[in-house]
Amino acid sequence: MNKPASVPEQFDAVVVGAGFSGLFMLYQLRQLGLSVRVFDSAGDVGGTWYWNRYPGARCDIPTTDYAYSFDPELEKEWTWSEKYATQPEILDYLRFVTDRYGLRSDIEFSTVVTSARWDEQERRWRIKTGRGMEIECRYYIMATGCLSVPKSPDIEGISRFAGQVYFTSRWPHEGADFTGQRVAVIGTGSSGIQCIPLIARQASQLTVFQRTANFSIPAHNGPASAERLKQLDEDRDGYRHAARWSRGGIPTELTDIMGVTASEAVRRERFEAAWTQGELFGIINVFADQLVNPASNDIVAGMIREKIGSIVKDPATAEALSPKDHYFGTKRPCLDTGYFETFNLPHVRLVDLRKQPIISITEEGIQTADESFGFDAIVYATGFDAMTGPLVAVDVAGRDGVSLKEKWATGPSTYLGLMTAGFPNFFMLTGPGSPSVLSNMAVSIEQHVEWVAGCLKDMREDGFETIEPTELAESGWNSHVQDCAAITLHPTANSWYMGANVPGKPRFFLPYIGGVDAYRKACDEVVERGYLGFSMTGPDGARCRDGVIRRMQPDVALVLNLMTAMGLPPMETLSAADARALLAAIEAARPPGPQVGEVSDGVIPGPAGDLPYRLYRPAGPPEGPRPLVVYFHGGGWVLGNLDSDDPLCRDLCARSGAVVMSVNYRHAPEARFPAAALDAFAAVRWADASAAELGGIPGQLAVAGWSAGGNIAAVACHLARDAGGPHVSGQVLICPVVDSDLTRLSYQENGDGYILTTPLMRWFWDHYADPADRGDHRATPLRGNLPGLPPACIVAADFDPLRDEGVAYARALEAAGVPVRLVRARGHTHTSVPMVGLVISGAPVRAEIAEALRDFFPNAVPQEHLS
């Protein structure tokens, strides 16, 4: 007789993981009245704190902040004994929370979830466990943590060793006694740095095998900070609110002091204060620019290296312990208690694996390129397959049987780090693309759990059964996550944040670095906008509000916010003179742009008098003439001068290797149309005739301009063609004005709020040209005759009212047979691309412009030869 097939147990939701996030998720789902089953492979609650029991294991976020805040009563009932609690105390806390809310009854311990498959027909997940259980549920939630799958140490011969073997991430419950033993520790991340001083107390010999020296500052552990306790005591709600809306999940006053411009005294004072405070968010907030500006980062890194040098007595050991191969903060910095001091003990030795790599583990110990070591015990503190590892460890298959592993083969893709397209009703807590490991996990976990619970509640109220992100929303979020990382130094490091610690793992910045506050705002806004970027289905139909939640480059948004905060008057309400004065005042505070070889000023004859120019010569080698670019500044024909676009000209010169000649032209309203255009053409003719004396290569001349400068650069090309010369090799038009139609879609979308507004553009046109003249191709080159114009590179920025006319010009040129390179400045505004030094995300656009310039010239200096 056939055994009847067992009937799978039915639940509303299955949660994998009974750590910080899984426990709170269970609590919240119960509040919604849902039936829930939680699975955990561990024998008890605790997640990471269940497994990581190595000596010295502690949190690196102050425990006052590393705790649940959802229930004020709970907070009253628990007091942390230390500033940074130990693993046993945190585990006790999580057990206490579990019992206080009676959560245990819904948790199945010592049970691994092996697979989860979406059944499209039933709109349910089918779950299997390692113990042969089959469960079906509507919602499948991975609360598996970010650092829960240990990375294989990838060292030859691990199984050969005859002595004791320990992994910090799977420490035995009965502990380990190293008394009198010769012990090796491999790995100097947070786990290694925490356990090394304690192992040294017992071991007769301790040898630390270091591949990468790591930045660490003293934790100065002790009682919980009196100041924080006082703040919590006086205004718990205010404190927790501030944490939720802070950058990292701990109330922190962010500095605006820049490392590069601060005085030596201020630098020292701020660093010493952070060193003494002993908090991660303090040491990464010494300077506002330390994670984006290498020079500023070097200041902090240098001071930490000085400290290491002053603690460690043996200079060679101090040198080896001093991190030099990554920027401070791009790998997780550590908090330690006596780590560097441990290397002053006579029985402790550091082996620098950069000098003598491990060849293999042997039966007796470790064989490096230079030495054979004998040990009684080896401790592996070699890290984790972070963030994605725990998610792909389960065989999760979404719609059409596509597995998460397959979908993420080239890197994780999520919407808000919460969900991924093709996997309906599958939620990740603190998944890739969320602040997670860059934040106070407790705060981020609560935010994620509350968002998921709120979403399930809303779905129920609206009669929906499934939810899933759209491809568009997801790819928009992925771009935003990478954009945020790209303006920092993070992508330069071989960190686990980048997936670089696991051989073969795609290099991809995993967490969201935009901040807990910015992230929460985005998640809230998604809900306010009717679950923007999600599609939902239910018995009564479907709903999809497609769209991208954050399209603007993060640093562009920051600059816009700063400018809004300045409360500047709208330019179009000012006189031309006052507008010019305001612009000059704003420019005075900006970074200067890169160094070039030589800068000199001069004048050239124009049609109505002399025109000033500034010449930028690239730093050599090679010596000798270079192609020449005649550049025209922006400012709506009214504003601007040689200073206004100086940083951009420097940047163009340095990146392209060409000589750049920036020409000032007559401005409106003093000199109206076509004065500026005629001056531009005169400048091009003069530059062509004088190329040799300007250091240019005769016959290799291009024009360039931004905004109204782009307008007259384009017009100069028309005039040169019509006059039969001079020959112009190419034209670079950065967000140019090429038409006077202020009704295009890009005006409708962006005409309000991004510095260049519709009223301002109207003000510029009114100052420059009578309506009757605006159809003249010398004012609106889009309306002119286009065949025979030089090859063009046109930059169109997403948030620019002029975007669509730039695109239209590119298309029209193409149609007229002119080679065109259209550069889409994704996430940029009209004014952000030229903001050299301020808007880092503009750098790739400027690099592309420079490449286009080099392509115009037969004798351009190849990029690899540029200094």
Residue number, 191 or 440, with CB nearest to ligand NA7: 191
Name the one residue in this structure whose structure tokens are 């799977």. Answer: 170
Which of 111, 144, 322, 382 forms a contact with ligand NA7 (CB under 6 A)? 382
Here's the x/- map for ligand NA7, 286-325, by CB under 6 A: it reads as ----------------------------------------
User: How far apart, in whole angstroms, are the C-alpha atoms of residue 450 and residue 386?
Assistant: 23
User: How far apart, in whole angstroms, are the C-alpha atoms of residue 512 and residue 518?
Assistant: 10
Contact segment (CB under 6 A) with ligand NA7 among 38-46, 381-389, 477-485, 835-843 equals 381-389
Question: Is 501 near ligand NA7 (CB under 6 A)?
Answer: yes
Which of 32, 74, 155, 345 forms a contact with ligand NA7 (CB under 6 A)? 155
In angstroms, give the least distance from the CB of 48 to ligand NA7: 8
Amino acid at 649: C
Residue number, 86 or 212, with CB nearest to ligand NA7: 212
In angstroms, give the least distance from the CB of 52 to ligand NA7: 8
Residue number, 290 or 501, with CB nearest to ligand NA7: 501
Which of 353, 671, 843, 847 forms a contact with ligand NA7 (CB under 6 A)? 353
Window 635-664: residues binding ligand NA7 (CB under 6 A): none
Contact segment (CB under 6 A) with ligand NA7 among 12-20, 181-189, 632-640, 720-728 equals 181-189
In angstroms, give the least distance from the CB of 660 to ligand NA7: 43
User: How far apart, in whole angstroms, are the C-alpha atoms of residue 837 and residue 822?
Assistant: 24
Window 23-42: residues binding ligand NA7 (CB under 6 A): none
Residue number, 148 or 181, with CB nearest to ligand NA7: 148
Q: 397, 536, 547: which is closest to 462 by C-alpha?
A: 536
Contact segment (CB under 6 A) with ligand NA7 among 187-195, 288-296, 711-719, 789-797 equals 187-195
Residue number, 186 or 536, with CB nearest to ligand NA7: 186
In angstroms, give the least distance from the CB of 465 to ligand NA7: 37
Question: Is 383 near ligand NA7 (CB under 6 A)?
Answer: yes
Residue number, 194 or 414, with CB nearest to ligand NA7: 194
Q: 456, 420, 454: which is closest to 538 by C-alpha?
A: 456
Q: SS3 for 834?
A: coil
Angle formed by the axes of helices 264-277 and 294-311, nearest 10°: 60
In angstroms, give the least distance from the CB of 111 to ligand NA7: 25
Amino acid at 412: P
- Are 711 and 778 in contact by the 8 Å Cβ rule? The answer is no
In angstroms, give the least distance from the CB of 319 to ligand NA7: 17
Residue number, 28 or 188, with CB nearest to ligand NA7: 188
- Are 650 and 594 in contact by the 8 Å Cβ rule? The answer is yes
Question: What's the CA angle centered on 18, arms 14 and 20, to 5 degrees?
Answer: 120
Which of 188, 205, 337, 414 forms a contact with ligand NA7 (CB under 6 A)? 188
Residue number, 283 or 381, with CB nearest to ligand NA7: 381
- Are 291 and 255 in contact by the 8 Å Cβ rule? The answer is no
Which of 19, 47, 189, 259 forms a contact with ligand NA7 (CB under 6 A)? 189
CA gyration radius, the chain: 31
In angstroms, give the least distance from the CB of 64 to ligand NA7: 18
Here's the x/- map for ligand NA7, 697-726, by CB under 6 A: it reads as ------------------------------
In angstroms, give the least distance from the CB of 189 to ligand NA7: 2
Alpha-carbon separation of residue 19 from 63, 110, 386, 760 (angstroms): 16, 13, 16, 55
In angstroms, give the least distance from the CB of 325 to ligand NA7: 9
Residue number, 54 or 673, with CB nearest to ligand NA7: 54
3-state secondary structure 132-156: CCEEEEEEEEECCCCCCCECCCCCC
Which of 63, 87, 190, 337 forms a contact with ligand NA7 (CB under 6 A)? 190
- Are 465 and 123 in contact by the 8 Å Cβ rule? The answer is yes
Question: What's the CA angle centered on 573, arms 585 and 611, to 5 degrees?
Answer: 55
Question: Is 381 near ligand NA7 (CB under 6 A)?
Answer: yes
User: How far apart, in whole angstroms, are the C-alpha atoms of residue 778 and residue 741?
Assistant: 15
Question: Is 187 near ligand NA7 (CB under 6 A)?
Answer: yes
Contact segment (CB under 6 A) with ligand NA7 among 85-93, 188-196, 396-404, 632-640 equals 188-196
Question: Is 100 near ligand NA7 (CB under 6 A)?
Answer: no
Window 777-806: residues binding ligand NA7 (CB under 6 A): none
Dihedral sign computed on CA atoms, order 201, 203, 205, 207: negative
Residue number, 267 or 326, with CB nearest to ligand NA7: 326
The total number of residues shown for the chain amounts to 867
One DSSP character per residue, 182-195 reads EEEEE--SHHHHHH
The residue with its CB nearest to ligand NA7 is: 189
In 300-397 the beta strands, taken as DSSP E runs, fall at: 334-336, 348-352, 358-361, 365-368, 372-374, 377-380, 395-397
Question: Is 496 near ligand NA7 (CB under 6 A)?
Answer: yes
Total of residues contacting ligand NA7 (CB under 6 A) = 22
In angstroms, give the least distance from the CB of 207 to ligand NA7: 13
Residue number, 60 or 106, with CB nearest to ligand NA7: 60
Contact segment (CB under 6 A) with ligand NA7 among 150-158, 344-352, 462-470, 586-594 equals 150-158
In angstroms, give the least distance from the CB of 182 to ligand NA7: 18
Question: Is 505 near ligand NA7 (CB under 6 A)?
Answer: no
Which of 305, 332, 650, 721 forms a contact with ligand NA7 (CB under 6 A)? 332
Contact segment (CB under 6 A) with ligand NA7 among 115-123, 180-188, 661-669, 831-839 equals 180-188
Which 8-state DSSP code applies to residue 867? -
Here's the x/- map for ligand NA7, 191-220, by CB under 6 A: it reads as xx------------------xx--------
Residue partners of 680: CB distance under 8 A and separation at least 6: 632, 663, 665, 703, 705, 712, 713, 715, 716
User: How far apart, in whole angstroms, are the C-alpha atoms of residue 282 and residue 250?
Assistant: 10
- Six-digit token string for 35: 């039936």
Residue number, 208 or 818, with CB nearest to ligand NA7: 208
Alpha-carbon separation of residue 72 from 68, 78, 80, 373, 590 (angstroms): 9, 10, 15, 54, 46
Contact segment (CB under 6 A) with ligand NA7 among 110-118, 149-157, 176-184, 403-411 equals 149-157
Residue number, 357 or 538, with CB nearest to ligand NA7: 357
Dihedral sign computed on CA atoms, order 429, 434, 436, 440: negative
User: How far apart, in whole angstroms, are the C-alpha atoms of residue 295 and residue 333?
Assistant: 19
- Are 137 and 14 in contact by the 8 Å Cβ rule? The answer is yes
Distance spanning both ends of the chain, measured CA to CA = 82
- Are 564 and 494 in contact by the 8 Å Cβ rule? The answer is no
Question: Is 186 near ligand NA7 (CB under 6 A)?
Answer: yes
Which letter, b or e, does each residue of 792-807 get, where b requires 16 or more Cβ atoms within 10 Å of its Cβ?
bbbbbbbbbbbbbbbb
- Are 738 and 711 in contact by the 8 Å Cβ rule? The answer is yes
In angstroms, give the least distance from the CB of 254 to ligand NA7: 21
Question: Is 154 near ligand NA7 (CB under 6 A)?
Answer: yes
Residue number, 353 or 642, with CB nearest to ligand NA7: 353
Q: 567, 401, 562, 544: which is closest to 467 by C-alpha?
A: 544
Q: 3, 7, 15, 11: which is closest to 452 by C-alpha?
A: 15
Residues that bind ligand NA7 (CB under 6 A): 147, 153-155, 168, 186-192, 211-212, 332, 353, 381-384, 496, 501
